[in-house]
């Protein structure tokens, strides 16, 4: 906004225009943006609310600013844990993919070797010099390697019964956490955006930040298509049920707003802002 327009709002603006200007300046400062107003102009703007109705609206927007700022910080903290969960999923899914490539490679070598003695030497060498975390590597009756990454079907040797250290179980755990965090973010952001519409408190910086959080949650972050239900559906893969175990990333299309939490969110906002 041009400086002359700001000056005009300061001198002649309606209460809504002045509140919007004040809301934008406060929210921008929270995220490190330079204020378009000098300190003196900010003071003049605050002091321009004089009638009882104007002061009432000013106080409403001040409470909204304080509470939105606090809740946005909370949502950003959850967003940080969501990104951490995605990082773990990415790391473990890439590890899983490398195991499958290793299995394919070593078995292709073993298949090409016709001499049984040489084949046994290769098998023993690979078996004794390989370390695959969270996977149980065994040799089948035909001398081929099988990488078991899910202990629900193949318990790892040497591990107590009931303990699950498999790669797939770890990915299931992180997927569940990521889905929970994503739902919390989507629910909180929707509540804040909806409530901002209700009381006409819509500072650009806060609304942009909320939209950015939702946009990230609604984006598929899988690096390899087979680990993404959304990407495989878009590719119109025929046997989706065969790939189900690979869908370790949250499906953005299935992340929903928690209606109970949304309702609680709205009640808390009303109690602290409208009735504060």
pLDDT number for residue 129: 74
Separation between Cα atoms, residue 256 and residue 186, nearest integer Å: 7
Tokens 């909180």, residue located: 188
* pLDDT tens profile 171-221: 999 999 999 999 999 999 999 999 999 999 999 999 999 999 999 999 999
Residue 100's SS3 state is: helix
| Sequence-separated (6 or more) residues with CB below 8 Å from residue 170 | 88, 92, 134
pLDDT number for residue 50: 92
* pLDDT tens profile 57-85: 999 999 999 999 999 999 999 999 999 99
pLDDT number for residue 156: 45
Residue 163's SS3 state is: coil
Instruction: Find the largest Cα–Cα distance for the chain.
Output: 97
Summary mean pLDDT of the chain? 89
| Sequence-separated (6 or more) residues with CB below 8 Å from residue 10 | 18, 21, 41, 44, 45, 48
* pLDDT tens profile 245-271: 999 999 999 999 999 999 999 999 999
> Model pTM?
0.87
Separation between Cα atoms, residue 22 and residue 79, nearest integer Å: 27
Whether residue 155 has pLDDT greater than 60: no
């Amino acid at each position: 906004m041009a400086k002359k327009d700001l000056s005009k709002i300061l001198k002649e603006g309606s209460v809504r225009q002045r509140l919007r200007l004040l809301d934008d300046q406060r929210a921008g400062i929270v995220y490190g943006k330079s204020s378009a107003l000098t300190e003196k102009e900010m003071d003049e703007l605050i002091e321009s609310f004089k009638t009882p109705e104007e002061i009432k609206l000013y106080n409403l927007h001040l409470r909204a600013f304080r509470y939105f700022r606090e809740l946005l910080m909370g949502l950003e903290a959850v967003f940080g844990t969501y990104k951490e969960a995605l990082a773990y999923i990415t790391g473990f899914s890439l590890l899983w993919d490398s195991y499958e490539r290793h299995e394919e490679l070593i078995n292709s070598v073993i298949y090409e070797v016709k001499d049984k003695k040489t084949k046994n030497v290769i098998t023993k060498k690979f078996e004794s010099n390989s370390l695959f975390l969270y996977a149980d590597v065994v040799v089948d009756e035909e001398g081929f390697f099988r990488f078991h990454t899910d202990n629900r079907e193949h318990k790892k040797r040497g591990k107590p019964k009931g303990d699950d250290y498999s790669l797939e179980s770890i990915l299931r755990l992180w997927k569940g956490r990521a889905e929970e965090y994503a739902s919390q973010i989507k629910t909180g952001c929707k509540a804040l955006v909806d409530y901002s519409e209700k009381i006409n408190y819509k500072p650009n910086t806060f609304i942009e930040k909320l939209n950015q959080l939702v946009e990230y949650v609604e984006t598929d972050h899988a690096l390899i298509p087979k680990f993404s239900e959304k990407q495989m559906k878009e590719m119109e893969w025929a046997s989706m049920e065969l790939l189900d175990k690979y869908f370790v990333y949250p499906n953005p299309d299935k992340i929903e707003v928690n209606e109970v939490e949304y309702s609680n969110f709205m009640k808390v906002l009303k109690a602290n802002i409208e009735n504060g």
